[in-house]
Amino acid sequence: MRSTMSAAGTATAAAIVLTGLITAAGPAAAASAAPAASAASAASAAGKACTPAVVKLADVPGGPAGNGGAVKTFGANGLLAGQSRGLPAYWTADGTAHAVPVPEGFQYGEVKAVNAKGLMVGTLRRPGDYDHTFAFTYQQGAAAVRLVNSGSTPSTLTDVNDAGRVVGMDAGVPKEWLNGTVVRELPVPADAHPSTRIISVDGINKRGDIVGTALTSHWEDDVITRKSFPVVWPAGGGYPPYSLRVWTESDYTVGTRATGIDDLGRVVGHEDRSYRDWQERKPAVWKKPYDALPADPGRVAGFEHLTLDAVSPATNVSVGTAVTFVEGYANHIQAAYWPGKGSPLALPHPAGAAPDSRSEAFAASDDDRVGGTFYDWNTMTASAVVWTCASGQAYAPKP
């Protein structure tokens, strides 16, 4: 599953502390912080000690230089997946980086999700064609990927659950697949304006509930009304989809999107306001029965904005990126960790990192790991990283 991994059958923290790749965590205060109860319980259930560390992963050999890497998802038995050197890639528990075998002519892409059986989904692009994405599935160990589309219309696969149900957009149509066959197209909620269309499918949980994002845009009294909002399609299609409420209803400078859904149906995402130099990022959390406005968990100390970009399957941990904008540009960027209550926290950079280094978090597991990317201004390079025992090193920055 995208950005997630269930506690049962996960690799232990020790399996991910890769030989020769560990960099000690940042502030000592962060390393000594008390872990969140849910994450600590998951680690205890695995029967292994949890060691806080920031693990920088190896790059795949070859490939375009300078494109960096990122961990986007956790699989079983120590498997990680995402991107390395701009290519779809995965890492096995021994720390070896593997390039996903892509067809000739494709040089860019990423794995967006992997399930417990090693089935990966993601996107590919050709050089110079940044607006056209090709969706693919890949079974770990196979000789090649399987392209879902080969025509002229962009498509993307976003997530897959352990039952093998795949979700994404195909030629602008939101769909769910099983065993390579489309099993349903995802409808617009009946209560939505006729102009509404689905613009992304953002996740699927263990049960099969799907979350996406819809956009309404129409003219009313000579003024354009524009709103984006999350949608949840219950598993199996036996119940109509939910339109989730948002803070801002009709402002073309504001968009609200979902980024993930956990096994209890919690949805995370963020509201973005973008107008010239005016930039805002506001985290949002929705819970069943989806009849209320989203909750705002707050901000990381010292940062003005926050996005939530992933949620763990069962431990209510969300991760994302804390940001401060200066004249419309993201000037300070750091991976963020929210344990489900209290204030969001920061995840440390590796020891010795330059002061202006940057990090982002894209994935959270039930065994207290976080995956993301780290950009080091000392070396001007980006690396795929994993924070192990993340709750034990997340901290509140000092002013």
Distances (CA, A) of 17 to 22, 24, 57, 87, 366: 7, 11, 10, 23, 16
Per-residue pLDDT at 145 exceeds 50: yes
If one compares 12 and 122, the residue with the highest pLDDT of the two is: 122
- The residue assigned the tokens 């990680």 is 80
Task: Calculate mean pLDDT across residues 52-59.
Answer: 94
Complete domains list, the chain, with CATH: 13-392 (2.130.10.10)
Per-residue pLDDT at 33 exceeds 50: no
Least confident residue range of 34-43, 71-80, 119-128: 34-43
pLDDT at residue 63, rounded to an integer? 58
Do the Cβ atoms of 91 and 121 come closer than 8 Å?
Answer: no
Do the Cβ atoms of 304 and 325 come closer than 8 Å?
Answer: yes
Per-residue pLDDT at 128 exceeds 80: no
Q: How sure is the predictor about 9, in pLDDT bands with cuts at 50, 70 and 90? A: very low
Per-residue pLDDT at 30 exceeds 60: no
Spatial distance between the Cα atoms of 284 and 16, rounded to a whole number of angstroms: 30
Spatial distance between the Cα atoms of 239 and 289, rounded to a whole number of angstroms: 13
Q: Is 40 exposed, middle or buried (0-12, 13-18, 19+ CB in 10 A)?
A: middle
Each residue's pLDDT tens digit, 368-398: 999 999 998 877 888 999 999 999 999 999 8
134-154 b/e (C-beta count within 10 Å ≥ 16 → b): bbbbbebeeeebeebbeeeeb
Residue whose C-alpha is closest to residue 270's, from 280, 278, 261, 346: 280
Q: How sure is the predictor about 367, in pLDDT bands with cuts at 50, 70 and 90? A: very high
Per-residue pLDDT at 348 exceeds 50: yes
Each residue's pLDDT tens digit, 233-291: 999 988 999 999 999 988 889 999 999 999 999 999 999 998 888 899 999 999 999 99
Percent of the chain's residues with pLDDT above 70: 86
Q: How sure is the predictor about 36, in pLDDT bands with cuts at 50, 70 and 90? A: very low
Per-residue pLDDT at 31 exceeds 70: no
Tell me the one-letter amino acid at 36. A
**Three-class secondary structure assignment of the chain:** CECCCCCCCCCCHHHHCCCCCEECCCCHHHHCCCCCHHHHHHHHHHCCCCCCEEEECCCCCCCCCCCCEEEEEECCCCCEEEEECCEEEEECCCCCEEECCCCCCCCEEEEEEECCCCEEEEEEECCCCCCCCEEEEEECCCCCCEECCCCCCCEEEEEECCCCEEEEEECCEEEEEECCEEEEECCCCCCCCCCCEEEEEEEECCCCCEEEEEEEEEEECCEEEEEEEEEEECHHHCCCCEECCCCCCCCCCEEEEEEEECCCCCEEEEEEEEECCEEEEEEEEECCCCCCCCECCCCCCCCCEEEEEEECCCCCCEEEEEEEEECCEEEEEEEEEECCCCCCEECCCCCCCCCCCEEEEEEECCCCCEEEEEEECCCCEEEEEEEECHHHCCECCCC
Chain mean position to CA 347: 16
pLDDT at residue 376, rounded to an integer? 86
- Its sign, for the CA torsion 387, 90, 84, 283, is negative
Task: Calculate mean pLDDT across residues 154-179.
Answer: 95
